[in-house]
Amino acid sequence: MLKYLLKRFLWMIPLLIGISLISFFIMHLAPGDITTSEASFNPKASEESRQKLRELYSLDKPIIVQYGLWLKRIATLDFGTSFASHQRPVFWQTKDKDGNITLGMIQEALPITLLINVLSLILIIGIALPLGVISALKQNQLADRGITLFVFIGFAIPGFWLALMLMYWTGVQHAWLPISGLQSIGHENMGWIAQTLDTLKHLVLPVFISGLTGLAGISLFARNGMLEVLHQDYITTARSKGLSENRVIYGHALRNALLPLITIFGLSIPGLIGGSVIAESIFAIPGMGKLFYDAVLMRDFPVIMGILTIGAVLTLIGNLLADVAYAWADPRVRRGVMQ
C-alpha cells in the first residue's frame, strides 16, 4: 500500500509540470497582456510606457523563457506577485522590512469559497441522499416523480434570477436576511456569538443557491445506485433470510449504493476551491471565482497560473484520496490495488 502511494505521488510531479506547461501556453495564446486592459486605452498612457511595463514584467521575453522563470520560482513555492493588484502576493502573505503584512490573494479568497462550498456540499448531501433513496424505494410512484421534478427545477432554474428574487424577498420586502456581502457594517464591534450569527445570516442565500443546482446530480446518482443494488442477488438473499425491510435497505443496500459516491466526492474536491463568478458577483462575495475571472480579464498571469496550479494539485490529490478511500471501503478494489 505504501509503495503504491509513493508511486502515485511521484507520478504527480510530471503530471503537474505537463498541466502547468499547457496552461501557461494556452494563457499566452489569448491576445493581449496586462498592458492591454480597457483602462489602458488612455491617451495619457503612451506606447513607450506600456513597452517599458512589458519589460519590467518580463513579458517581452519568449514564452518558453517566461515559463522557465515561472517554473524556477514555483520550485521554491513562490507564486509571485500579482500584476494587476499592486504587487499583492498571489498565494500567501508577505512581510516587508517594516513589519507590514500584505495578505495573499488566494489566502484571502480561498477560505471564503471553501466555507461556502463545504456548507453547500453538506446541504446537498443532507438533502440529496434521502431524496435519492426515497425515489428509489418509491420508483415510478408520485413521490419519485415529484422529487425528480423538484431536483430538475432546481437544476434548470437560472441561479442569478432566483438569487435576485430571494434577495428582494428576504432582504428588501422583509428585513430577514442581509442582501449582499459577508459581514454587516458594525461587524467588528459585535461579540463573537453575534459575529458568527451575522456571518451565518450572510451565508444562507449563497449556500442555498449554490446547493440547489447540485441537488439534481447527487440525488439522481443515489437513486440509480440504490435501484441497481436493490436488484442484486444478495438483497434477495437478505430478504429471503427474513431480515426486516429496514435492515435490508439501510444495513445492506444503502451501504453498497453509497460506494460510487466516494468517487464523486473525490472528484468534487477541486470543485470546492472554484467559486461561481455569477453567484459571487451578485452576492458581493470576494471568493475564488471572481478572483480568477478578474485575473483572466486583466491578463494577470501570475494569479491565473497560481489558481490553476493549486487547482491541479488539488485535483490530483482528490483523485488519489478517492482511490484510497475506495480501496479502503471496497475489498474487491483493495485487492486489485495491492497486486
Partner 1 sequence: MLINHHQHRSTTLALITLCVILTSACGDSTSNKANAIDYTKTYPASNGGTLINAMMGEPSGLIAMIAGESAASAIAGNIFNSLLKYDKNLELSGELAQSWDISDDHKTITFHLKPDLKWADNQPLTSEDVLFTWQKVTDENTRTPYGSDYKLVIKAETPDINTFRVTYAAPYAPALETWASLHILPKHLLKDQDINTTAFARNPIGSHYYKLEKWKNGQYLKLTRNINATQGQAKIDHLMSRIIPDKAAQFLELSADNIDSMGLNPIQYARIFPARPDLNKNIALYKELGNSYTYMGFNLKRKPFDDIRVRQAINYAINKQEIIDGVLLGLGEPVASPYKPGTRWSNPELKPYAYDPAKAKALLKEAGYEDHDGDGILDKDGKPFSFEILTNQNKEREMTGVLIQRRLKEIGIDANIRVLEWASFLGRFIKPKEFDVVVLGWSLSLDPDQYSIWHSSQQAAGQFNFISYSNSQVDKLLEAGRLELDPDKRMKIYHEFSKILLEDSPIVYLSAGYGLTAIHKRVKGISNPAPPAGIGHNTYEWYIPKAYVRTEMSEN
Footprint of partner 1 on 287-316 (CB under 8 A): 290, 299
Near partner 1 by CB under 8 A, which window of 84-92, 262-270, 301-309, 313-321? 84-92
User: Residues 262-277, buried b or exposed e (16+ Cβ, 10 A)?
Assistant: beebbebbbbbbbbbb
Query: Residue 9 CB, nearest distance to partner 1 (Å)?
Result: 34
Query: Residue 23 CB, nearest distance to partner 1 (Å)?
Result: 18
25 binds partner 1 (CB under 8 A): no
Task: Record the cell numbers describing residue 192, joined without a space.
Answer: 463573537
- Bridge pairing between strands 94-95 and 101-102: antiparallel
C-beta closer to partner 1: residue 17 or 164:
164
Q: 114: exposed, middle or buried (C-beta count within 10 Å: 0-12, 13-18, 19+)?
A: middle
Residue 84's φ and ψ, nearest 5 degrees, are -85, -30
Query: Residue 121 CB, nearest distance to partner 1 (Å)?
Result: 18
Tally of helices (H runs) and strands (E runs) in the chain: 15, 2
Q: Which of 59, 90, 131, 262 binds partner 1 (CB under 8 A)?
A: 131
Q: Which of 13, 52, 255, 336 binds partner 1 (CB under 8 A)?
A: 52
C-beta closer to partner 1: residue 209 or 269:
209
Give the Å distances, CA to CA, from 175 to 116, 157, 189, 201: 22, 25, 21, 12
Strands (E), 48-139: 94-95, 101-102
Binding mask 168-197 for partner 1 (x = CB under 8 A): xx-xxxxx--xxxxxx-xx--x--------
Residues 204-243 interacting with partner 1 (rule: CB under 8 A): none
Near partner 1 by CB under 8 A, which window of 126-134, 225-233, 264-272, 318-326? 126-134
Query: Residue 287 CB, nearest distance to partner 1 (Å)?
Result: 8
85 binds partner 1 (CB under 8 A): yes
Query: Residue 39 CB, nearest distance to partner 1 (Å)?
Result: 5
Sequence-separated (6 or more) residues with CB below 8 Å from residue 72? none
How many whole angstroms separate alpha carbon 3 and alpha carbon 294? 42
Residues in the chain: 339
Residues 87-106 interacting with partner 1 (rule: CB under 8 A): 87-88, 96, 98, 100, 102-103
15 binds partner 1 (CB under 8 A): no
Q: If residue 62 lies in a helix (H) or strand (E), which one and from where to where?
A: none
Near partner 1 by CB under 8 A, which window of 67-75, 113-121, 141-149, 331-339? 141-149
C-beta closer to partner 1: residue 255 or 335:
255
Q: Residue 186 in 3-state DSSP?
A: coil
60 binds partner 1 (CB under 8 A): no
Closest CA to 220 of 120, 131, 124: 131
User: What DSSP character marks residue 89?
Assistant: B
35 binds partner 1 (CB under 8 A): yes
Answer for the pair 34, 298: CB distance below 8 angstroms, yes or no: yes
130 binds partner 1 (CB under 8 A): yes
